Amino acid sequence: MDTAKAKTSSAAYIKMKNIEVETTTNTSTVSYHTAGAFGQPSASGSLAYYGKIQGADTATNGGSSNSEPFLGENYRIQLTDGILAFTGTTWDTTFGLYNLGAKDLQVKPGYLVKPGGTYGYWLTNPSTASDYKYYVRKVTTNAGVKGTMTLNMGATLVNWEATTSNSVSCLVLFESTKSGLFTPPRFFDPSNALTNLGTVTANTDGTNPFGSSIYVNRCNTSTVSSYTYTIPLISADGMVLNATYTNIYVIVRYKGDPTPITSITTTFS
| Cα–Cα distance, 56 to 77 (Å, whole number) | 16
Is the model's pLDDT at 258 over the cut of 80?
A: yes
Its sign, for the CA torsion 39, 136, 52, 115, is positive
The arithmetic mean of pLDDT across residues 78-102, rounded, is 92
Query: How many residues in total does the chain contain?
Result: 269
Peptide bond into 115 cis (omega under 30): no
pLDDT at 169: 98
Which parts of the chain fold into alpha helices (H)? 3-22
User: Can you give the residue ranges of every domain in the chain?
Assistant: 58-268
The arithmetic mean of pLDDT across residues 88-94, rounded, is 90
| Cα–Cα distance, 73 to 198 (Å, whole number) | 31
Beta strands in 175-220 (DSSP E): 186-189, 198-200, 214-218
State the pLDDT confidence band at 92, using cuts at 50, 70 and 90.
Answer: confident
Phi, psi of 38 (to 5 degrees): 65, 15
State the pLDDT confidence band at 97, using cuts at 50, 70 and 90.
Answer: confident
Share of the chain above pLDDT 70, in %: 83
pLDDT at 146: 97
Q: What is the pLDDT of residues 27-74, one digit of tens each?
A: 777 665 665 556 666 666 666 666 777 778 999 999 999 999 999 999
Q: What is the pLDDT of residues 116-165, one digit of tens each?
A: 999 998 888 999 999 999 999 999 999 899 999 999 999 999 999 999 99
Better-scored residue on pLDDT, 205 or 43: 205
Q: Write down the pTM of the prediction.
A: 0.84
The least confident of 6-20, 89-103, 159-173, 177-191 is: 6-20
